[in-house]
A and B are shown apart, each in its own frame.
Chain A
């Protein structure tokens, strides 16, 4: 099963991409980007009332929701957000304590994974140069669709040296970018609980569809 684990819709302040437009692109580019679904990771927010079941039924893609938050070690994706996690952390705080976030989110039933770690200022690699490594990091985003030259290479070295698992996401803010990077899971994922379980204990790998354009 292949999911884009990192993308933003018009609910984020820096994206104007409607969710339905993402699905239309994925349906049209199924041969090029053979995804089964997406995980919306809006910036600094989580709205539990969002309901995408009608779109799931209309287009046949899985749609799950998560959040991208900002910490003292850069940006982190939080999967399995629930009432306890929302009560514990103010997602609008751009200086959340990363170690506390990772530990507490795991205790409360979710999983917090650093994203675009190779990016200056907001990536884990830059913070590891001046601060001790975080404990409890399960995986990092090895492929990010918005990475610039050399950023994903830095992540490869981080993964090698720390033994982290690797996942991928498009980090799309524009409709046409959806699914350019994603994560392939061995198991089927039907719910956010399935996703959290698989990210923590399952088998998965990042996949890159940027090079698979038809001749």
Chain B
């Protein structure tokens, strides 16, 4: 049966959460865990910034909105990847607000049958109102 998607649900914010203040130790530990050695990521001081992938550690308090179309079985699925658009870097002392929206819902068919993809967008904004990153989290459901 075809999935009916009401386009008015797309783009709606369904959750907002605040993280931080972020410490220099957190930024350095994250970078070192990746094997990073460049000084801007691992040495304390005014030049320290978060590694570009640091933004993926943040999420809202709520996984999915209540408005998902009926017929999507959210108990069977997996993480199908992320697209990250970077803004200003994360710095020690920053607080990060995560604004969660339902960005996209679509179907596709493949070798193993039909699938539904749900894309949840996290827009990360710091305490100065600057966009740190836009993270599109793609999940696949049967």
Contact = CB atoms under 8 A, between A and B. Distances in A.
Interface of A: 13, 43-44, 70, 74-75, 92-95, 119-122
B109 interface: yes
Contacts of B109: 70, 74-75, 94, 121-122
Contact of A119 (B111, B113, B114, B138): B111
Contacts of A43: 108
Contact of B117 (A13, A75, A121): A13
A120 B109 CA distance: 11
B114 A94 contact: yes
A144 to B, nearest CB: 12
A121 B108 contact: no
B2 interface: yes
A94 B107 contact: yes
9 contacts: A13-B106, A13-B117, A70-B109, A75-B109, A92-B106, A94-B2, A94-B108, A119-B111, A121-B109
A94 B3 CA distance: 10
Given A13-B117, A95-B2, A70 B108 contact: yes
B8 interface: no
Contacts of B107: 94
Contacts of B106: 13, 44, 92
Contacts of A93: 2
Contacts of A92: 106
A13 B106 CA distance: 10
Contacts of A122: 109-111
A175 to B, nearest CB: 17
B63 to A, nearest CB: 21
B76 interface: no
A70 B109 CA distance: 7
A215 to B, nearest CB: 34
B7 to A, nearest CB: 11
A74 B112 CA distance: 12
Interface string B2-24: 10000000000000000000000
